[in-house]
Amino acid sequence: MIVWLIFFGIEVWIAYLLYDGLSKIPKQHRTTEPYYAWLILIPLAGFVFYWILLPFKIPESFKNYFSENPGDRDYPIDFGKTMGLGVVISLTLMIIPIVNLIAWISMPVFLVLFLFEFRKMVQQLP
């Protein structure tokens, strides 16, 4: 039960970071609404929202914003799409019995790298 609460707390923290970052992007540049970040907390459906948000909608929103408002170019070239794909592919591989041993190692690494890139881009927003 304690382990489950720790993982749930981490999920809530990730959802908050994504929500906070998406809400700072001006509305005309967003490809998704910020509240979609909270939908990753829904059991099973959250898996689908990870696939929608991390590799596609969030990088696309940053691309839309930074194409019209170039910053100091201290953000990833693909706006975090590669790391987002790494997270969701590793998350998907956790379902497969033998492969999940490797995915349990790679998923947190990709997730931390994605969140670092995400925060770096969010810091450049107004």
DSSP 28: G
The pLDDT assigned to 70 comes to 74
Phi and psi dihedrals of 98, rounded to 5? Answer: -80, -35
Instruction: Please give the C-alpha separations between residue 27 and each of 15, 24, 42, 124, in angstroms, as whole numbers.
Output: 19, 9, 25, 16
Rounded to whole angstroms, the Cα distance separating 84 from 37 reads 14
Per residue in 60-117, pLDDT (tens digit) is 999 998 888 776 667 778 898 999 999 999 999 999 988 888 888 999 999 999 999 9
Q: What is the pTM of this model?
A: 0.89
Name the packing angle between helices 2-24 and 58-68 (round to 10°): 30
* Domain ranges, ordered by start, for the chain: 2-122
